[in-house]
């Protein structure tokens, strides 16, 4: 339902990646469009929450969201798999850069 809500919210999207990374999730929580912690993954409420993010945030341009009620759950998307994958990689690179700066 979550993936369908993304495809329905923007017909230019052809690829969705749902991955889990606890460090990426914690560092992006509330820094990118984030669903309510009270909403569990795999529910109709999550689908409606995703649609709310598309209507009321910059998720469409950022191409990434965090599911606060689905620990570790990150979703990226794009016009194709390469674009969606690049969003994940850029987010992860940001964490590596922060870590390196902290311990240099």
Average pLDDT of the chain is 91
pLDDT at 98 over 60: no
Q: With beta carbons less than 8 A apart as the criterion, state whether 96 and 24 touch.
A: no
Q: What is the pLDDT of residue 93?
A: 85
CATH of the domain at 18: 3.40.225.10
Please give the tally of structural domains in the chain: 1
Q: Are 99 and 24 in contact (CB under 8 A)?
A: no
* More confident of the two residues 61 and 95: 61
Task: Return the residue matching tokens 């912690």.
Answer: 37
Q: Where are the beta strands (DSSP E) in the chain?
A: 15-20, 64-66, 73-78
Q: Which residues, 6+ apart, have CB-to-CB distance to 81 below 8 Å?
A: 15, 17
Q: Give the range of the structural domain holding residue 41, as residue numbers without chain letter.
A: 2-103
Helix (H) or strand (E) holding 61: helix 59-62
78 vs 102, higher pLDDT: 78
């Amino acid at each position: 339902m979550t993936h369908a809500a993304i495809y329905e919210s923007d017909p230019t999207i052809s690829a969705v990646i749902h991955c889990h990374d606890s460090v990426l999730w914690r560092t992006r929580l509330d820094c990118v469009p984030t669903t309510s912690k009270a909403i569990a993954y795999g529910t109709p409420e999550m689908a409606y929450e995703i649609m709310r993010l598309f209507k009321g945030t910059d998720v469409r341009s950022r191409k990434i969201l965090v599911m606060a009620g689905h620990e570790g759950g990150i979703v990226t998307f794009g016009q194709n798999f390469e674009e969606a994958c690049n969003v994940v990689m850029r987010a992860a690179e940001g964490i590596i850069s922060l870590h390196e700066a902290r311990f240099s």
